[in-house]
């Protein structure tokens, strides 16, 4: 049986893996950090993400046009149970020269489905 501490550790690892895959632009590893379908609510729009939706060109378009990498500033557990963890986060997006594009507050819901921990839902103030 999964304890709350185990669930929190697994959820924090998902966030580590999510950010590492995003920064390395590794679409396969990025998708591994999710439990699909996954929901993203940002810019007052809800998007349902499915496996295969992430394409390499997404790393160079729109809000990510100037983006080089991101880093977590805060990852505070709000609620945790054996198969779901809610995490209050803040991350910063950076340009290649290290200058800041912006910092954004978000809530991540990490779930365990069929033994796999992944991002199920995120609500962000990022564009």
Tell me whether residue 77 is exposed, middle or buried, using C-beta atoms within 10 angstroms of its C-beta: 0 to 12, 13 to 18, 19 or more. middle
β-partners of residue 48 are 39
Give per-residue pLDDT as tens, 11-53: 999 999 999 999 999 999 999 999 999 999 999 999 999 999 9
**Res. 110: pLDDT tops 70:** yes
Sheet containing 116-124, strands listed edge to edge, beginning at the edge strand earlier in sequence: 45-49, 34-42, 116-124, 100-113, 84-94, 69-81
Angstrom CA distances, 26 to 6, 9, 32, 67, 83, stand at 26, 23, 10, 15, 26
Distance of CA 24 to the CA centre of its chain: 14
pLDDT for 101 equals 96
127 pLDDT tier (thresholds 50, 70, 90) = confident
CATH number (3.10.450.50, 2.60.130.10, 3.30.450.20, 2.40.10.10) of 4-124 reads 3.10.450.50
Half-sphere exposure of 83 (CA within 13 A, CB side): 7
Give per-residue pLDDT as tens, 62-100: 778 899 999 999 999 999 999 999 999 999 999 999 999
pLDDT for 60 equals 72
pLDDT for 1 equals 67
CB under 8 Å to 31, separation ≥6 — which residues? 51, 52, 54
pTM to 2 decimal places:
0.93
pLDDT for 62 equals 74
């Amino acid at each position: 049986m999964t304890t709350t501490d185990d669930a929190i550790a697994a959820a924090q690892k998902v966030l580590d893996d999510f950010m590492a895959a995003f920064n390395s632009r590794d679409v396969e590893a990025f998708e591994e950090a999710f439990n699909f379908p996954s929901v993203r609510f940002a810019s007052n729009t809800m998007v349902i993400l499915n496996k295969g939706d992430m394409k390499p060109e997404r790393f160079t378009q729109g809000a990510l046009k100037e983006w080089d990498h991101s880093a977590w500033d805060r990852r505070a557990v709000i609620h945790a149970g054996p198969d779901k963890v809610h995490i209050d986060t803040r991350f910063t997006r950076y340009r290649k020269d290290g200058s800041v594009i912006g910092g954004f507050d978000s809530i991540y819901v990490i779930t365990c489905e069929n033994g796999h921990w992944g991002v199920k839902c995120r609500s962000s103030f990022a564009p």
